[in-house]
């Protein structure tokens, strides 16, 4: 498995405290802040175009409504994905995976690509997204970290691109997580840092894999987690977190 050099702070959905999440504007905002890595979510439209979007439903972050899985790409392309965040972002579009990858590559960023399948599309989302990503991502660049809450999606990632590292996402604790992580040959364990207890952290750290915590916007909490052994944190405001922890080694 490829050796990843994971930064202490990863921009969550770009830098989504400063630009609408999972847009090209958010990727560029992260890069402008000097962020080393960004995290983005990928899912499929009804006609199987991989796009960068988090929710199953379009209503929270666009001018549209309804399910992504029920909407063709040409209709998704007509939606405004920026006005909800602020007038200066009016006209921002939901990017395709290809557009987002090219922006990440052009800005020299590392990437955590989260496979975020709509229900029942765990296999197709992984297969199509990774097919695009492997054709676009430079051979001479460190590979992206492919993460998901879906074990099925991660199994497909392992089968398709075994050399690309995988991150097992965990929200609610479950006892079999170590068995699943071993089965998937997970490189990282990505956990909800806001509900973490010291006992659970000790357990997550016990296999010796990098542990990443989401979504940490409180500088003191970020420092506490990193001092406790967390490898890195995802943050909407990565610049603020980085200022707080810059003295840590």
Over residues 91-109, the pLDDT tens digits come to 999 999 999 999 999 999 9
4 falls in which pLDDT band (50, 70, 90)? confident
Average pLDDT over residues 216-220: 96
* pLDDT for 3 beyond 80: no
For residue 48, indicate whether it is catalytic. Answer: no
User: Does residue 149 sit within a domain?
Assistant: yes
What pTM was estimated for this model as a whole?
Answer: 0.96
Residues spanned by the domain of 194? 9-56+95-245
User: Does residue 81 sit within a domain?
Assistant: no
Catalytic residue among 12, 28, 48, 151: 12
User: Does residue 82 sit within a domain?
Assistant: no
For residue 54, indicate whether it is catalytic. Answer: yes
Over residues 31-41, the pLDDT tens digits come to 999 999 999 99
Over residues 148-197, the pLDDT tens digits come to 999 999 999 999 999 999 999 999 999 999 999 999 999 999 999 999 99
CATH number of the domain bearing residue 110:
3.20.20.190
User: Does residue 72 sit within a domain?
Assistant: no
The number of distinct structural domains making up the chain is 1
User: Does residue 51 sit within a domain?
Assistant: yes
HEC letters along the chain: CCCCCCCCEEEECCCCCCCCCCCHHHHHHHHHCCCCEEEEEEEECCCCCEEECCCCECCCCCCCCCEHHHCCHHHHCCCCCCCCCCHHHCCCCCCEHHHHHHHHHHCCCEEEEEECCCCCCHHHHHHHHHHHHHHHCCCCCCCCEEEECCHHHHHHHHHHCCCCCEEEEECCCCCCHHHHHHHCCCCEEEEEHHHCCHHHHHHHHCCCCCEEEECCCCHHHHHHHHHCCCCEEEECCHHHHHHHHCCCC
Average pLDDT over residues 128-149: 96
User: Does residue 206 sit within a domain?
Assistant: yes
User: Does residue 106 sit within a domain?
Assistant: yes
Catalytic residue among 28, 54, 151, 183: 54
User: Does residue 211 sit within a domain?
Assistant: yes
């Amino acid at each position: 498995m490829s050796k990843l050099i994971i930064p202490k702070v990863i921009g969550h959905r770009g830098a989504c405290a400063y630009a609408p999440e999972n847009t090209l504007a958010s990727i560029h905002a992260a890069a402008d802040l000097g962020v080393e890595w960004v995290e983005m979510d990928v899912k499929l439209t009804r006609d199987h175009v991989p796009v960068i979007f988090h929710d199953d439903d379009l209503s929270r972050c666009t001018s549209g409504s309804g399910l992504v899985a029920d909407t063709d790409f040409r209709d998704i392309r007509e939606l405004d994905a920026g006005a909800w965040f602020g007038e200066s972002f009016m006209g921002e579009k939901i990017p395709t995976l290809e557009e987002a990858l090219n922006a990440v590559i052009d800005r020299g960023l590392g990437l955590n690509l989260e496979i975020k399948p709509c229900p029942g599309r765990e296999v197709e989302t992984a297969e199509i997204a990774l097919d695009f990503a492997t054709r676009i991502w430079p051979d001479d660049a460190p590979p992206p970290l492919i993460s998901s809450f879906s074990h099925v999606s991660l199994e497909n990632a392992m089968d398709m691109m075994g050399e690309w590292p995988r991150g097992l996402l965990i929200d609610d604790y479950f006892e079999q997580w170590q068995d699943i992580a071993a089965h998937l040959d997970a490189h990282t364990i990505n956990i909800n840092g806001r509900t973490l207890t010291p006992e659970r952290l000790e357990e997550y750290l016990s296999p010796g894999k990098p542990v990443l915590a989401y979504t940490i916007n409180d500088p003191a909490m970020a420092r506490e987690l990193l001092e406790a052994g967390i490898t890195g944190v995802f943050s909407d405001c990565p610049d603020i977190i980085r200022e707080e922890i810059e003295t840590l080694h």
